[in-house]
Amino acid sequence: MDASAAKPILAARTKTPEDGRACLGLGFDHLEITLPCPGGPDEEAAWAALAAENQVVFLGHGPQEGDSREPAKLERIYLPRLREATLAAVRLGVRLLTVHCWIDSRWTPADLMRRKIALLAQAAAGCTAEGIQMTLENLSEPWKDLEAALTAVPDLGLTLDVGHAQLLSRSNRSIEIIEHGFDRIRHLHLHDNLGGTSPKDDLHMMPGRGITPFAEIFGALKSRGYDRTATLELGIHELIEGRRWVKEHWDQS
């Protein structure tokens, strides 16, 4: 296959079945949904009904880890929540589950880093046993920290969030992640921001309205033949314009 002809499969981030139905109406047949469902069994049943009525592929967006400095809480609370997400994924036919686990060594002591990676290994093993690809979403980590987790957990994939890669860094980290870890990238999150040093700077702006170097990122991915999924993490009212922008600039890269 000619790498230059590769294109990502665009998905919409959606948080309720009602919004999911609206995204289907906009022409998206891949939806990234929150697991386990915040609305409990009723919400899960609504997603299942939506899938029964439509041609749709669900991608999973796992729970937040909470206080990332407390390993006992992570093991007692977060790990079981990841298991709940995995089981919900099984019931809904989800085959990719993105998870969050902050492993930036600038703020994560070595012992805590080891315990977090061990937690990821347990969660990934549970996903693999169910036929689900678990992926770690980058937050602010440099490649060397992500590499430590990916080396220790061979079943773990990577969700490259290009907006997160712009934060807590002088330059966007996406290029170094693509350069060193492309073979582990299973999914993308696409949105923009103005850089910054705190969670409030994670603005989830329309691509092209911030400082994320999309031309360089898209060029690096395209040259390697990236043709997997990519979720537009935008508001529903922005999805049509976001889809158009991404397709146009991917073709130009």
**Can you give the pLDDT at residue 1?**
56
Q: What is the pLDDT of residue 217?
A: 98
Distance CA 29, CA 13 (A): 11
CA distance 91 to 88: 5
Q: Is the pTM of this model over 0.75?
A: yes
Mean pLDDT of 68-94: 94
Rounded to whole angstroms, how far apart are CA atoms 21 and 236? 11
Confidence band of 107 (pLDDT split at 50, 70, 90): very high
Residue that has been written with the tokens 């979403």 in this structure? 137
Q: How high is the mean pLDDT of the chain?
A: 96
Quick: pLDDT tens for 183-227: 999 999 999 999 999 999 999 999 999 999 999 999 999 999 999
How many distinct structural domains can be found in the chain? 1
Q: Which segments of the chain does DSSP mark as H helices, in order?
A: 17-25, 40-53, 71-73, 79-92, 110-129, 143-152, 174-181, 214-223, 239-252
The secondary structure element, H or E, covering residue 160 is strand 157-161
**Average confidence (pLDDT) over 109-121:** 96
Give the mean pLDDT of 166-177.
97
Supply the range of the domain harboring residue 206.
3-252
Whether residue 90 is predicted with pLDDT greater than 80 in this model: the reply is: yes
Q: Which of 225, 223, 212, 237 has its CA nearest to residue 13?
A: 237
pLDDT at 68: 74
18: its two tokens: 């009602």
Q: How many of the other CB atoms lie within 10 Å of CB of 179?
A: 11
pLDDT of residue 18: 98
Give me the pLDDT at residue 95, please. 98
The pLDDT tens digits of the residues spanning 124-137 come to 999 999 999 999 99
Q: CB–CB of 191/226 below 8 Å?
A: no
143 touches 180 (CB < 8 A): yes
Phi first, then psi: give them for residue 161, nearest 5 degrees.
-100, 105
- pLDDT > 80? residue 4: no
Classified as helix, coil or strand, 61 is strand
Measured CA to CA, the distance from residue 152 to residue 220 in angstroms comes to 26
The CATH number of the domain holding residue 143 is 3.20.20.150
- CA–CA separation, 228 and 202 (whole Å): 24
Q: Does pLDDT of 59 surpass 90?
A: yes
Confidence label for 174 from pLDDT (cuts 50, 70 and 90): very high
Distance in angstroms (rounded) separating the CA atoms of residues 30 and 154:
26
Token digits of residue 195? 């850089």
Categorize the per-residue pLDDT at 2 as very low, low, confident or very high, splitting at 50, 70 and 90. Answer: confident
Whole-angstrom Cα distance, residue 53 to residue 107? 46
pLDDT of 30 above 90 = yes
